[in-house]
A = this chain, B = another copy of it.
Amino acid sequence: MNLKPTKPLSGFIELLPVQQRCFDECARRMQNILKLAGFSRLDLPSVERAEVLTDKDNWDEIETQMFLFQKGDTKMGLRYDGTVGLSRYVAGHLNDLVFPFRAYQFAKNYRGERPQKGRYREFYQMDLDIMGLGTLSENYDAEIVATIAAAYESIAEFIGGINARIGSRPFWNAAFEYFGMSSNLAKTALVLIDKKNKLSESDFLAALKDALGDDFAMKIFDVFSNGYKSLGGKSEGLDDAIKRIDDFMVLLGSLGVKKAVFDLSIVRGLAYYTGMVFEFYLDKYPEWGSIGGGGRYEDLASKFSKTKIVGVGAAMGPSRVLVALMESGEIDLTPFESPIDVAVLVMGANQVAYSMSVLSELRNAGIVAVPYLDTDKKFKNQIEFADKIKSKFSVIIGEDEVINQTLSVKDMVTGDQQNLTLSDTIKLLKGVK
């Protein structure tokens, strides 16, 4: 019989236990920050109706982008982000939730496209949103930015520092209006501004000229040269947008965000953003692009409810960054090598029952204890096992220990061995933890 392949499907992540422990610790720290900020965790289905996932009906195209399937008459598929399910959920629970409602998800999402280097078909995304009924102060947008910054800072020892780049859609809208650009040209301009950071200065200018004509191109280019404040006093809309930017940056400071800059080129392509937008970058690897971002949307759940839900949301994608840094060896995994406090080594079949009660007591005391219960194996195998699992201590149980109701406790680093009662063993092991 041919053996089946042991590799996961391409684009699917599978970690070694030591890597998994590091990943889980990062996930725990980030989620702890979200909980301190009062975000409720939502655990929504991974599978949604196709009509919830998309408005399009060009199925051939959709099927290449998503994982779709059919049960009976119902077309369904795997979610590709947290927003689709969130909109449905909030619209369905308007009376069960307190608004402004703050929710986060930390869940697997799926993309059906062919996987590329650093792009996965299954990946974790941490989505966080604050939603209000009808209105929601822009102050919350600053709070979202600060919360993401704090979440990433909580894992800075693994990924290094991060910085936030803040953009303003209202600023550009007001600028385009002041310049007298049509809404079509304005849209084209936004697309080009979105790409600015991938182009040289001169290529950017050339692209602007090409698409918008020399006059509009130079006006936009000048804003980049002279800064957003150069349009102060030109129109009410611009003055308002500039004030909102300045207020926003002050709030970020109050919230303890250290590395945030306003960046005219941050607009985020997605149509549904209507206010401040933001992206996060690794200090060490700006070329990896955004590792998270988001912004404000004016009507989250219009497809599901007549109630207007205004919100600000963002997503963080820790999978790609953490996997890349673990695989390249840049994250030191030594602290995650072993979570085992003590290996319980059992010399013979007659000592198993006593060893089991010791094991049970150790665990009840909060000590991570792993037994080696193949009593027919040689002592050498047993001590090798304790070495390999990198336990801090081993407890050796032979005939004498059962008779005396004691334990031989060996420090696996120093090699020191002593004979102790169970309660002294527990004291020793808990003292070291």
Which A residues form the contact surface with B (CB < 8 A)? 1, 3-9, 12-17, 20-21, 23-24, 33, 35-38, 40-49, 51-52, 67-69, 71-72, 74, 76, 88-89, 91-93, 96-98, 100, 102-103, 108, 110, 112, 114, 121-122, 132, 135-137, 139-140, 142-143, 146, 150, 250-251, 254-256, 303-306, 339-340, 352-354, 356-357, 359-360, 363-364, 366-376, 385, 388-389
Contact = CB atoms under 8 A, between A and B. Distances in A.
Contact of A37 (B44, B49, B306, B370): B370
Contacts of A44: 8, 14
A344 to B, nearest CB: 10
B6 A71 contact: no
Contacts of A254: 352-354, 356-357, 360
Nearest to A120: B45
Within the oligomer, what is the number of copies of this chain? 2
A11 to B, nearest CB: 9
Contacts of A38: 339-340, 368-370, 389
Given A251-B352, A374-B135, A357 B256 contact: yes
Contacts of A67: 47, 69, 71
A197 to B, nearest CB: 29
B6 A36 contact: no
7 contacts: A8-B48, A16-B93, A47-B67, A68-B69, A98-B389, A100-B385, A254-B354
A409 to B, nearest CB: 17
B356 A251 contact: yes
Given A136-B374, A254-B356, A360-B255, A17 B40 contact: yes
Given A139-B373, A255-B359, A373-B143, A303 B35 contact: no
**Smallest CB-CB A-B distances: 5 pairs:** A6-B92, A38-B370, A139-B373, A254-B356, A12-B45
Contacts of A41: 17, 20-21, 24
A297 to B, nearest CB: 17
B88 A6 contact: yes
Contact of A250 (B110, B142, B353): B353
B139 A3 contact: no
Contacts of A88: 4-6, 8
Given A8-B45, A92-B7, A135-B374, A17 B97 contact: yes
A81 to B, nearest CB: 16
A363 B36 contact: yes
Contacts of A142: 356
A218 to B, nearest CB: 37
Contacts of A122: 45-47
A304 B375 contact: no
A122 B366 CA distance: 33
A363 to B, nearest CB: 4
Contact of A20 (B43, B46, B303): B43
Contacts of A340: 38
A192 to B, nearest CB: 32
A98 to B, nearest CB: 4
A285 to B, nearest CB: 24
Nearest to A384: B98
A32 to B, nearest CB: 9
A279 to B, nearest CB: 21
A357 B251 CA distance: 8
Given A17-B40, A43-B20, A363-B37, A4 B52 contact: yes
A45 B121 CA distance: 10
A127 to B, nearest CB: 15
Contacts of A352: 139, 251, 254
A198 B139 CA distance: 61
A159 B178 CA distance: 65
